[in-house]
Amino acid sequence: MRCEAFADVVHDLGRFAALDRKTREEALAHAQSCSRCAALKDAVESLEASLVALGFQDERAEAPQRVEAALRAAFRANRPRMLARSRRVVWTWGLATAAALGIGVLAWQEWKPTQKAPAGQASPPEEAYVQPAPVANTAAQQPSAQATANSASNSFLDASGFLPLPYETAPAADEQADVVRVRMARGSLAAFGLPVDGERADELIDVDFLVGEDGTPQAVRLSD
């Protein structure tokens, strides 16, 4: 090894991972035969020892406790914003899901053969009210008008003028259901997938909901 090559590797002699064994041995052999390079090697080793000593001095240096206290305070102060942010995320996803559902319902309504709703409006009550009317929801009691209906439940719904809500499953045959009458704006029917005449959207109408045992509306019809 020549002096130039030695000078190039002398700083890596103390780093075992940085130099291969053969080069290291050649460098050490050169330092034994060249006094100038031996002096350079000694100087480098002295510097390394100084740096290690410096490293020792700061080895356990850590930020004072007050930094942690200040960060805890800052974290607490920021927490309401973080929670609000995560709530915003939940709301955003919720609204997006609702919008997607609404679009799906409308698309389904477009595709599905529409069923005429009764047009009459017989002296509706002033306020929304509830008429619990337990309905024995069995196919035997309410034979279906549509022979092609898939299930007894659906047959019942069709025969009684109820239109199943598209995103709800039809009540089971032996499930009890209540009819709940509600006065609402005609435009609100769109939320249930029913077609709405835009010009009459503000008109108040009575609507019957078939509410399942779990309180979920399962079908809807316009009240006569």
Partner 1 sequence: MRRREDLPEDDLLRLAAKGDEEAFVCLYRRHQGAIYRYALRMTGSAGLAEEITQDVFLVLAQQPKRYDINRGELGAFLFGVARNLVRKHWDRARPEISLDSEQRDDPALPAAQLLDPQAADPGVLFARDQAVAQVRAAVMSLPGDYREVIVLCELEEKSYEEAAKLLDCPVGTVRSRVHRARALLMAKLEVLRGRPRRAMAQ
**Nearest distance, CB of residue 133 and partner 1, angstroms:** 47
Kindly state the number of chain residues that form the binding site for partner 1, as judged by CB under 8 A: 44
If one asks whether residue 7 binds partner 1 (CB under 8 A), the answer comes out as: yes
Q: Count Cα atoms within 13 angstroms, Cβ side, for 30.
A: 21
Taking Cα atoms as reference points, which of 47, 5, 12, 55 lies closest to residue 30? 5
**Nearest distance, CB of residue 93 and partner 1, angstroms:** 16
CA distance 188 to 160: 22
**Nearest distance, CB of residue 97 and partner 1, angstroms:** 21
If one asks whether residue 122 binds partner 1 (CB under 8 A), the answer comes out as: no
**Piece of the chain touching partner 1 by CB under 8 A; list 9-17, 112-120, 148-156, 194-202:** 9-17
CA distance 21 to 61: 35
CA distance 207 to 224: 9
- Contact status, residue 23 vs residue 31, Cβ threshold 8 Å: no
Q: Which of 32, 86, 114, 121 binds partner 1 (CB under 8 A)?
A: 86
Site for partner 1 in 12-31 (CB under 8 A): 12, 15, 17-18
Site for partner 1 in 41-60 (CB under 8 A): 43-58, 60
Q: Which of 2, 29, 32, 74 binds partner 1 (CB under 8 A)?
A: 74
Binding site for partner 1 (CB under 8 A): 7-8, 11-12, 15, 17-18, 36, 39-40, 43-58, 60-64, 67-68, 70-72, 74-76, 78-79, 82-83, 86
